[in-house]
Amino acid sequence: MPAALDALGDLVRRAGDGDAVAGVPARFVGTPATTEEASAVLRAAAADDLAVVVRGAGTKQDWGAPPRRLDLVLDTRRLAGVVEHAAGDLIVVVRAGTPIAELQGKLAPAGQQLALDAALPGATVGGTVAVSTSGPRRMLYGTARDLLIGVTVVRPDGVVARAGGKVVKNVAGYDLGKLITGSYGTLGLITECVFRLHPLPAADAVVTRRVADPAEAGRLVAAVLAAQVVPSAIEVDAPPGGGIEVAVLVEGVPAGVRDRVALLCRLLGGEAAQQRPDWWGTYPWRAGETGLKVTAALSRVPGLLAAARDAGERHGAPPTVRGSAGSGVLYAGLPGDAAPEAVAGIVDHLRGAAGQAGGHAVVLTAPAAVRERVDMWGPVEGLALMRRIKEQFDADGRFARGRFVGGI
């Protein structure tokens, strides 16, 4: 072990087989419990020119491209716990390694929540912010970027920096929280997050309706958007060969939810469900399969659903499509044994359709054979500026290098 790491004692151990990232083996694992310890580990890593990948619960370690080089996995699971929950101010300060579910458990007794859905069980706060995953309720509450009001990061050179603060309204300085959110660990390590919270609704309900085709689903979604429903989520699920299920979530006071459920039943010609459908808030793929995120302007979502169906038929591998029709974000899953050529064809098709619809198609995860065949990220606007950001934060290219857009 390099001397600088060795001097850190228990904070660093040798890596095992389970520490590989997307098939790339690691040499060491750092396990700091505080921001200061994390800074010490990363300073040591910088001194020895070690390549670093940050890991929380590891639920998305197979997302993005494999790292081009890997020495040290920085594991955040000891860097956990709620630092401060100021219920009266509706904010929480929480360490990055805290699982989202555990955080929600701590907030619930105060009647509060972090209004961010975690699709992958066990996912940590840090991982959710770093990859910017979101779920159905993004339609009403926004995503991690909208809820994160303060952040502490350790830069690749080990320097600790904070941005934002503990108040929701704050325009002092650059909003580094937004830049860090969704940066896939390429700019540094997130150690602490401050979130704005929302009250837990007193009541909620889901109304569902199954329809035959994308056009009909589109009409229903448009009708809900035009009415006074204020949905928390409008989700669709389109399994291969089946119809499309549209599900709308409303939250609020009991009387208000009752009224809006009645309105939704009329609009959708559907019925109120006792609980959310079992596919709700989950990705339409399993570990080892191909998963895509496909976005579009709101009115073009039905077109994307149709494009996915066409692409599946043309390439003989029908995808399962699911996601937020009320936000313009869909996910598509393809079986792990689908031929890479077919998957590549579908990715191209969806990328074309998404581009026409003002959005993008990104391959979030895929089997190795598919990764070799496809461009995971597709076209990226502003890439030159992004490279300059990376160069400023991580001039040596040691953090998650190769995992992100344009090979960043």
Partner 1 sequence: MTDIDALAARLRTDLAADQVVSDRQELRTYECDGLAHYKVIPALVVFPRSAEDCARTVRACVAAGVPFVARGSGTGLSGGALPHAEGVLIVTSQMRRIVQVAPEDERAVVEPGVINLQVTRAASPSGYYYAPDPSSQQICSIGGNVAENSGGAHCLKYGFTTNHVTGAQIVAPDGELVRLGGRAPDAPGYDLLGAFVGSEGTLGIATEVTVRLVRLPETVRTLLAAFPGVDEAGAATSAIIGAGVVPAAVEMMDALAIEAAEAAVHCGYPEGAGAVLIVELDGPAAEVAAQFAQVETFCADNGAFEIRIAADDAERALFWKGRKSAFAAVGRISPDYIVQDGVIPRTALPEVLHRIGEISRGQGVRVANVFHAGDGNLHPLVLFDDGVEGEAGRAEEVSAAILALCIEYGGSITGEHGVGMDKAKYMPRMFTDDDLDTMQLVRCAFDPAGLANPGKIFPTPRLCGEVPGRHRGTHPAQQAGLAEVF
Which phi-psi region, left, alpha or beta, contains residue 394 (left: φ > 0; alpha: ψ -120 to 50)?
A: beta
Query: Which two structure tokens, joined as six digits, stand for 134?
Result: 């979101």
168 makes contact with partner 1 (CB under 8 A): yes
Residue type, 199: P
Within residues 189-208, the interface with partner 1 by CB under 8 A covers 198-200, 202
Within residues 341-380, the interface with partner 1 by CB under 8 A covers 354, 357-360, 362, 377-378, 380
178 makes contact with partner 1 (CB under 8 A): yes
Residue 379 Cβ vs partner 1, minimum distance, rounded to whole Å: 8
Cβ distance to partner 1 smaller for residue 15 or 153: 153
Among 1, 14, 36, 174, binds partner 1 (CB under 8 A): 174
Only segment of 50-58, 284-292, 342-350, 396-404 that touches partner 1 (CB under 8 A): 396-404
Among 2, 122, 256, 336, binds partner 1 (CB under 8 A): 256
225 makes contact with partner 1 (CB under 8 A): yes
108 makes contact with partner 1 (CB under 8 A): no
310 makes contact with partner 1 (CB under 8 A): no
76 makes contact with partner 1 (CB under 8 A): no
Cβ distance to partner 1 smaller for residue 170 or 242: 170
161 makes contact with partner 1 (CB under 8 A): yes
Residue type, 142: G
Only segment of 123-131, 206-214, 235-243, 255-263 that touches partner 1 (CB under 8 A): 255-263
Nearest to 129 by CA among 182, 89, 84, 83: 182
Query: Which two structure tokens, joined as six digits, stand for 262?
Result: 């009645």
Per-residue x/- track, 20-39, partner 1 (CB under 8 A): --------------------
Cβ distance to partner 1 smaller for residue 147 or 244: 147
Among 90, 223, 272, 306, binds partner 1 (CB under 8 A): 90
Among 33, 82, 86, 273, binds partner 1 (CB under 8 A): 86
Residue 301 Cβ vs partner 1, minimum distance, rounded to whole Å: 10
91 makes contact with partner 1 (CB under 8 A): yes
Cα→Cα distances 379→342, 367, 371, Å: 20, 21, 16
Within residues 230-249, the interface with partner 1 by CB under 8 A covers 230
Residue 324 Cβ vs partner 1, minimum distance, rounded to whole Å: 9
Only segment of 72-80, 87-95, 276-284, 343-351 that touches partner 1 (CB under 8 A): 87-95
Only segment of 2-10, 142-150, 315-323, 334-342 that touches partner 1 (CB under 8 A): 142-150
175 makes contact with partner 1 (CB under 8 A): yes
121 makes contact with partner 1 (CB under 8 A): no
Residue 276 Cβ vs partner 1, minimum distance, rounded to whole Å: 21
Residue 339 Cβ vs partner 1, minimum distance, rounded to whole Å: 25
216 makes contact with partner 1 (CB under 8 A): no
Cβ distance to partner 1 smaller for residue 328 or 335: 328
Q: What is the 3-state secondary structure (H, E, C) of the chain?
A: CCHHHHCCHHHEEECCHHHCECCECCCEEECCCCHHHHHHHHHHHHHCCCCEEEECCCCCCCECCCCCCCCEEEECCCCCCEEEEEHHHCEEEEECCCEHHHHHHHHHHHCEECCCCCCCCCCEHHHHHHHCCCCCCHHHHCCHHHHEEEEEEECCCCCEEEEECCCCCCCCCCCHHHHHCCCCCCCCEEEEEEEECEECCCEEEEEEEEECCHHHHHHHHHHHHHCCCCCCEEEEEECCCCCEEEEEEEEECHHHHHHHHHHHHHHHCCEEECCCCCCCCCCCCCCCCEEEEEECCHHHHHHHHHHHHHHHHHHCCCCEEEEECCCCEEEEEECCCCCHHHHHHHHHHHHHHHHHCCCCEEEEECCHHHHHHCCCCCCCCCHHHHHHHHHHHCCCCCECCCCCHHHC
